[in-house]
Structure 1
């Protein structure tokens, strides 16, 4: 695609911010646990580890901890590798795709899924994916080996998954370079007011109140949090720098698509994501500072 304007430094981030929720809708939908329960994975954490990790094959808990980053390893080890004795990675991937299909049909309706705009979004997102790279990006690389679904809305969902994991793998590099462990990353992001809520972290990531308090103290010692648990000036700069580094590491797919294509994909993605959110795709209790 030929571009007539320059790509801004944050264009990729803005595009990702409206693409990523489209991928994530199924994780919060009733269709997801129902499909995984049919395979015998009735625990919500087990279902999540299986669904997101299945593209890598029947991996062990260490691989899931390394690639997911902010989950307590003890929680992961309760379910992995047992999940693979219950359901094969191939069966999990099929169930995940069925859940995504059913979720999107319920949230957006068949007319939107079969629209020219959905087909255009899929084409643009898949074009952006052509600029992604596999090296040092395990979750992206594993998902990139999966076939692209035929239906436009699932092709777009697949592409949104790839773009999400590509940026996510790069973000983990930035977190590691900033010397933030998984829980410190969650606590500092929570302090921005834009991350997962305390309730959301405690109910999904496997950490205890003692773990959270200890992470806050480590961040205070480093001057990242103040006595009230808010970001200091240095902490706010650290979080800003993390996003800037992630933008740089994730620039390739958006440069490949070009500024005009990114602008159009952002426009289309905003419409679909807004519609999904207005239909109740995400529980409010999982986000914010409460």
Structure 2
């Protein structure tokens, strides 16, 4: 793919990811899940995201989520399904998304402009959504089935549906690319942290459930390989920083990931893709203004969560 085209697809994918993942930090969404007996935060979000796959084992969830600790996932799955069934959770997530977007967009003076942007994106991305081949993409395929059974009530819900499928589709492709490159999930997470443009280190470790021993061992392994250097932050915690070799490896993985979505995006030409950059920016700004991605978790507004 042309470099400009590739970068535009990456930019759009990151913004669609933000549109999808902003719900994970919403107190409104958390309260909605708590009504089902779920602990807000990681447990509830894991239930919501994995629910389309049904009552699968912890191993299946760990395999598809990739950068979470399998041992941590095993403390939640299948126990979560004793509290709420996957079928109820699928429906509850759509209801929570509806409440969230009503809170976020409902009283804005620029609602007409934002609705137009959301409608434009959903319509323009429909051919990409239709071109997705879910072979080998368990999480994306299950998510797409759930979304196809949902009737969105607003332009924002419709875009969330599309964004969620595309996000999980690229995510499954990214996992395959990590496997191809021989990079374990914890290493991929640390390399992302090391850029200083994603999760803060302690937040990444906590939200993905890695023990101190596992985290320190991965840091040491990556430092010995010349992919990270390890300093300390102002509180004395380890602060990984990616090296040029680490950036090269990350870019190689992103190139592989680009290839996993190229066929789907091929239904749009360069001009059509470029035209979506502006409306996507308009919508993502709303999340930044609302503080949807907390500074306690992210060094900068989130671009990617696997």
The match for 1:189 is: 192
Is 1:127 paired with 2:127?
A: yes
| Per-residue Cα deviation, 1:51-93 (whole angstroms, up to 9, x for no partner) | 0001111111001100001111121111111111211112111
| Per-residue Cα deviation, 1:184-213 (whole angstroms, up to 9, x for no partner) | 111111111122111221331111222211
Asked whether the 8 Å contact 1:6–1:259 carries over to 2, the reply is no
The match for 1:222 is: 225
Asked whether the 8 Å contact 1:12–1:250 carries over to 2, the reply is no
The match for 1:234 is: 245
Is 1:77 paired with 2:77?
A: no
Residues in 2 aligned to 1:191 and 1:150: alpha-carbon distance in whole angstroms: 38
| Per-residue Cα deviation, 1:20-73 (whole angstroms, up to 9, x for no partner) | 101111111012221111111125322111100011111110011000011111
Asked whether the 8 Å contact 1:108–1:276 carries over to 2, the reply is no
Asked whether the 8 Å contact 2:22–2:293 carries over to 1, the reply is yes
Asked whether the 8 Å contact 2:115–2:156 carries over to 1, the reply is no
1:229-268 to 2 correspondence within 5 Å?
229-268=240-279
Asked whether the 8 Å contact 1:186–1:195 carries over to 2, the reply is no
Residue from 49, 58, 62 that aligns with 1:61? 58
Moved more, 224-233 or 149-158: 224-233
Is 1:209 paired with 2:192?
A: no
Is 1:287 paired with 2:298?
A: yes
Q: 1:184 to 1:6 in 2, by over 3 A?
A: closer
Aligned-residue offset at 1:227: 5.5
Is 1:272 paired with 2:283?
A: yes
Residue from 25, 42, 45 that aligns with 2:42? 45
Aligned-residue offset at 1:280: 1.6
Aligned-residue offset at 1:12: 1.1
Residues in 2 aligned to 1:143 and 1:217: alpha-carbon distance in whole angstroms: 36
| Per-residue Cα deviation, 1:159-198 (whole angstroms, up to 9, x for no partner) | 0001101111111111112221111111111111122111
Q: 1:114 to 1:219 in 2, by over 3 A?
A: closer
What TM-score, normalized by structure 1, do the two folds share? 0.91
What TM-score, normalized by structure 2, do the two folds share? 0.86
Residues in 2 aligned to 1:196 and 1:122: alpha-carbon distance in whole angstroms: 28
Moved more, 104-113 or 175-184: 104-113
Residues in 1 aligned to 2:298 and 2:199: alpha-carbon distance in whole angstroms: 4
Aligned-residue offset at 1:129: 0.9
RMSD over aligned CA atoms reads 2.1
SS in structure 1 of the partner of residue 179 of structure 2: helix
SS in structure 1 of the partner of residue 75 of structure 2: helix
Aligned-residue offset at 1:233: 2.4
Aligned residue pair count: 285
Question: Runs of 5+ in structure 1 lacking a partner?
Answer: none
Question: Runs of 5+ in structure 2 lacking a partner?
Answer: 232-239, 301-306
Q: 1:86 to 1:109 in 2, by over 3 A?
A: same
